[in-house]
Each structure stands twice: as structure tokens, then as C-alpha cells.
Amino acid sequence: MNDEFDEVEDAADFAAVPDAFQRLWTPHRLVYIQDGQEPDDDACPFCIAPTKDDEKTLIVARGTHAYVLLNLYPYNTGHLLVCPYRHVALYDDATRDEIDEMGTLTQTAMKVVRSISNCDGFNIGMNQGRIAGAGISAHLHQHIVPRWALDSNFFPIIAKTKALPRLLGEVRQQIADAWPK
């Protein structure tokens, strides 16, 4: 056994003021927040993806200034990201053309996902900067997360598991096929 993990601290012994919040510890996400762990600009996954095969990189649609791809670690089935091709970190650093196309691609993505999945709503947003929770803060990207009225269940609570009923490749193909040409 690894000595580093031989002893588990009891959360009750932590120096903190008790409150009503439950904590979800996700140490696997530490790589996204540690200094120096974000990919170098030349290894940015959002810069690399458009240079490769759409099927392999989960790209569903391409525009002139931006493109749409499935999130590799989705919150829900059909969780999409809209990214400019240009390596730019913040929304206010993007050009008017990039912002306009990201908006148009977001509208189209909503229509396509709604038509194939019958979702009831969407969470749409951007985490700007590492402190705001951006996993890849150096490259602007917008999340489009479909939601269903009955998509809550006890699986994440009891089994600590998120049920995603379809494989990413299947979802990518269905969205790409339904995308207007």
C-alpha cells in the first residue's frame, strides 16, 4: 500500500467552521487547477481538435470563426462546447466575428439537441479564468448542457455515478447528422 494514502483523515478533524454544505471531493480535477498543469498553448486541446478528424475529436459542426464539439467529460448526454478557432482566453478579448458566430452556433446547437433529445431546457455558460472554474482557462469555450424535467435521480447521490445513456461517438454522430448543412 502507498504510505501516502495509508492514513485517512476524518473530515470532522479539519480546521473549519461546521456548516450545512456537503463536500464532494474530486482530487482527479486537481490537474486542472494546479499551477503549471494547464496545457501549454501549443498543446491546447481546443486548438488541436480542429486540426484532426471530426469523429475522433468529437466535433459536430464547424463555422468560419468557431466550432462545436461534445464535451469529453459531459454533465449530461449532449453536453456541447462552442469554441473559437483562435486561441483567446476571455470573452472580452474575442472579436465581434467570433462572438457573433459563437452565438449563432449556440442557437443552432440548442435547436439540434432539442430536436433529437426532446430536452426541456439548457444550462449555457462560460467560466472565465481559472478562479471561475474553467478547466481550460486559456481558450474561450461556452458550455451548452441539455436538461430534462425528469433528469434527476438518485444514481449520483447513492451510487456516486452519473448515468449517461449513450456513448459519445453515437451522440456526436446523431448531432452532426442533424446539424443543418
CB-facing half-sphere around the CA of 114: CA atoms within 13 A:
10
H-type helices in 58-135, by residue range? 96-117
For residue 111, how many other CB atoms are within 10 A of its CB? 13
141 is an active site residue: yes
Residue showing cell 446539424:
179
Please pick, among 65, 79, 141, 143, the residue that the annotation labels catalytic.
141
The set of cell numbers assigned to 122 is 439548457
Distance CA 53, CA 159 (A): 35
The set of cell numbers assigned to 106 is 449556440
Inter-residue contact 143 to 79 (CB < 8 Å): yes
> Known catalytic residues?
141
